[in-house]
Structure 1
Amino acid sequence: MAPFVAQFVAAPAGAVECLVAQSGADPANGSFVLVHGIQGTAAAWAEIAPRLDAGRAVLMPNLRGRGRSPSPGDIAAYSLDHFADDLAAVIAAAPAPVTLVGWSMGVLVALTYLARFGARGLDGLVLASGTAHPGREAVWFHAETPEGVAQEAAARAARLGLTASATPTAVAGAWASVRAADLRPGLARITLPTLLLHGERDDQCPLAHGRVIAAGIAQASLEIWPGAGHNLMVEDPARFALSVLRLHAAARSDRLNATQ
């Protein structure tokens, strides 16, 4: 994480820590904001951020319960709405326009943000390995208690290759909110250029969940990675970054054409 600069953004629960790559980029070019998963931290993007060389800053927030961001002791403080509040503060502070990228739970956080705050200031959306409604298929944990979820979380972090993890309280609180989420009704209201990335063999969020999101968003396309699992950033970081850059370039071209 050495190449990244730590910045802090004022948010309702306290200052959110953001790791920033290419912090010296021209603010007029906009930025990328990358949102980690249920256990992940900004470190999940370590191999992606340096590859997003589009002359833009790259902001990777540590949502609450991670890094030096606030870590409330109450599991109720880790709902998707609370994470969306953290994200809203980061997007408000980021150079606009922002391409928003979410992975796993980050997809749900991004969709919650859009449902609550709208798409103002955004120019594109990348949703990787995600779901709009976990239901009974996208099951990340099986335990019914915070203690049980914490035990499962350690094994899951190792399996997904996460180098840093959220606190057990943050994971337990987030899972309680995630498992009850249904953001499908809001998909039709999203008008941003959207790219869905999904592994063919994702056992955490099965491919059918990516298909549902792609079908629900008018300007969405779905890129399926044959043989890939849940953590696409680890499986092929160069390909992941290239896909994000491709979406950004297409969205930028559309904006330029619209002003001519």
Structure 2
Amino acid sequence: MTAFTTEFVATPDGALECLCVNRQADPARGAFVLLHGIQGTASAWSEVAPRLGGERTVLMPNMRGRGRSPAPEDPGAYTLEHFAADLHAVIAAVPGPVTLVGWSMGVLVALTLLARHGAHGLDGLVLASGTARPAGEAVWFHAMSAADIAEEARDRATRLGLVACAAPVAVAGAWASVRMADLRPALAGIRLPTLVLHGEQDDQCPLAHGRLIAAAIPDAALEIWPDTGHNPMARDPQRFAQAVLRLYGATRPDIVSAIH
């Protein structure tokens, strides 16, 4: 069983907890940074991270409101801009380049980072089960109050196979920001090797959203998984890890053999 270590990254609002794999890897090779979804935690990646090989460090931030990361009581402290600022601090703490992997809300956080802070420090992008504009189609919660959202969240966590969940205030605050987001204008300016991965049966974020992202980002690849819903990592963690490694290998021919 893979041993996860823990470290903390300083942000303007406190120390962000990150779970780590392969901390002994050469720092110059950079890292994979894996972003969980709106009610998930770093544990969403527990089956994927050990399968990413020993070439690079793997960092899984617990975004604010999860684990031992800062957990403000104000729902307004959980906007996409707050999450992106925290992520910016994590990327800045990595000595080498970062391949950023976002799932569900993590896609919106990644796109907000690129829109607000640019692509400095990044060498690739994987956007899984995501949307650039939730609007009325990617509806994760229908309730408005934190208490009612918490009730919905319990059912949703069961459906998605989440083993740990965010604090209710973090989910409620994030949803208030997410449901108003429109990151479509940022897509055309992305100049990173990009893989868009989406389940054909995704009922939380319809496939059309993934197609839109892939079509708008120059030269992005689209990988559609049949018979897969919103959580491809739970469906097939080995296949997901291989998809990430293929993207990394495309920019690093010297390690292509490691993904076979």
With structure 1 as the length reference, what TM-score do the two structures score? Answer: 0.96
Shift of 1:97: 0.7
Amino acid in structure 2 at the alignment position of 1:199: G
Q: For 1:28-69, what per-residue CA distance to the aligned partner results, in whole angstroms no more than 9, with x for missing partners?
A: 111100000000100000000000015100000001000000
Contact 1:64/1:70 (CA < 8 Å) preserved in 2?
Answer: yes
| C-alpha separation in 2, matches of 1:94 and 1:245 | 19
Partner residue in 2 for 1:180: 180
| C-alpha separation in 2, matches of 1:120 and 1:251 | 16
Which segments of 5 or more consecutive residues in structure 1 lack a partner in the other structure?
255-260
Partner residue in 1 for 2:160: 160
Q: For 1:103-124, what per-residue CA distance to the aligned partner results, in whole angstroms no more than 9, with x for missing partners?
A: 0000000000000111111100
Amino acid in structure 2 at the alignment position of 1:198: H
**Aligned residues: percent identity?**
70
Query: How do 1:1-260 residues align onto structure 2 when only pairs under 5 Å count?
Result: 3-253=3-253
| C-alpha separation in 1, matches of 2:251 and 2:134 | 29
Amino acid in structure 2 at the alignment position of 1:172: A
Contact 2:187/2:217 (CA < 8 Å) preserved in 1?
Answer: yes
Contact 2:77/2:173 (CA < 8 Å) preserved in 1?
Answer: yes
Q: For 1:191-220, what per-residue CA distance to the aligned partner results, in whole angstroms no more than 9, with x for missing partners?
A: 100000000000000000000100110020
| C-alpha separation in 1, matches of 2:54 and 2:253 | 14
Shift of 1:251: 1.9
Amino acid in structure 1 at the alignment position of 2:81: D
Paired residue total: 254
Partner residue in 2 for 1:257: none
Contact 2:100/2:125 (CA < 8 Å) preserved in 1?
Answer: yes
Contact 2:196/2:223 (CA < 8 Å) preserved in 1?
Answer: yes
Contact 2:64/2:83 (CA < 8 Å) preserved in 1?
Answer: yes
Show structure 1 runs of 4+ deviating over 4 A: none
Amino acid in structure 2 at the alignment position of 1:222: L
Contact 1:75/1:173 (CA < 8 Å) preserved in 2?
Answer: yes
Partner residue in 2 for 1:258: none
| C-alpha separation in 1, matches of 2:203 and 2:223 | 17
Shift of 1:148: 1.2
Contact 2:31/2:58 (CA < 8 Å) preserved in 1?
Answer: yes
| C-alpha separation in 2, matches of 1:173 and 1:69 | 16
Contact 2:144/2:172 (CA < 8 Å) preserved in 1?
Answer: no
| C-alpha separation in 1, matches of 2:198 and 2:251 | 20
Contact 1:59/1:94 (CA < 8 Å) preserved in 2?
Answer: no
Contact 1:9/1:15 (CA < 8 Å) preserved in 2?
Answer: yes
Instruction: Give SS of 2:65's match.
Output: coil
Q: For 1:127-150, what per-residue CA distance to the aligned partner results, in whole angstroms no more than 9, with x for missing partners?
A: 000000001110000112222111
| C-alpha separation in 2, matches of 1:186 and 1:48 | 28
Alignment CA distance shift 1:10-1:164 (3 Å):
same
| C-alpha separation in 1, matches of 2:113 and 2:150 | 26
